[in-house]
Amino acid sequence: MDTVVTLTLNPAVDLSTSTDHVVADRKLRCDARTFDPGGGGVNVARVLHELGVPARALWTRGGLMGDLLERLLDEAGIAHEPIQIERETREHLTVLERSSGRQYRFNLPGPRLSEAELEEVHARVAGLDPRTSYLVLSGSLPLGTPEDFYARLAEASPEGCKVVLDTSDGALQRGVEGPIYLIKPNVGELGRLAGIEIEGEHQIRDVARELIHSNGVSVVVTSLGPAGATATTADEHWHVIAPPVQARSAVGAGDSMVGGIVAALARGRPLEEAIRWGVAAGTAAVKTDGTQLCRRADVERLFDSL
């Protein structure tokens, strides 16, 4: 039985490379490219696998990129279940400019899912093993998908399964209308949910508490980048400060944070400790190159320093 299931409606093949200078109107000579499986829930499943927590990734598979993504997941040893779609799975490109250390990220649009394909996704979630502990809904919605689709999936999930939602914009605004256990916005996303510009931690706490009281969300984890994260419940509020590290790539840091949190919760650890694992995993991810995610040894070492 899978302790955790992740769902990625808009997965991607992450292609990364580097070049000396990124210059307009010139042919750029790049280093050898690397490929990684990507997309919110896929990345969370990769982190859970790295941290030794049983998980299964549901994801939409289409075309040649879907074939490649399936092979990458198989090679990584990730338990997964593709949901076949007609159109092509998308790809991302990340380019490191070595001369400056700047990273350029190109996110291409994903496929539009048909009504029948969305119904199949809904049926897969409704048919999950009733003993599933956590369902992670992560990443953007495909083009044309109703903004309340994550809320519908949360309602279809097994009774007692805790739903973690990590998305943005309208998908987050409408997603919290469903029975959601935990959300992980950044400060800007949290402010947009409340229709205000957040200027301090007291506002983070107050806005999170209002979401908890008005929408029924149990936990709001607000990522703060290098400053770590806050976690707010109806009764408690914590701020875990991230340890300083030499940042190499921000790709996947948020997904790593979610993976660290869910891994600890799935092991029965208390919420306060789980947030520390999340900050450790997110911080560990920025230490890796390109589209690599956190490494278990780094996560454990950073957790011990918190």
Q: Which residues are catalytic?
A: 255
The single-letter code of the amino acid at 281 is A
What is the enclosing helix (H) or strand (E) of 103? strand 102-107
| 8: Cβ contacts below 8 Å, ≥ 6 apart | 39, 40, 41, 42, 57, 58, 59, 60, 138, 139
SS3 198: coil
Compute the residue count for the chain: 306
Residue 58's nearest CA partner among 75, 72, 40, 71 is: 40
Token pair in block for residue 7: 């769902």
3-state helix, strand, coil in the chain (%, to 5): 40, 25, 40
| Contact call for residues 265 and 19 (beta carbons, < 8 A) | no
Residue 166's nearest CA partner among 185, 190, 149 is: 185
The torsion of the CA quartet 58, 178, 238, 56, rounded to 10 degrees, works out to -10
Q: What is the DSSP letter of 227?
A: G
SS3 211: helix
Instruction: Tally Cβ neighbours within 10 Å of residue 16.
Output: 24
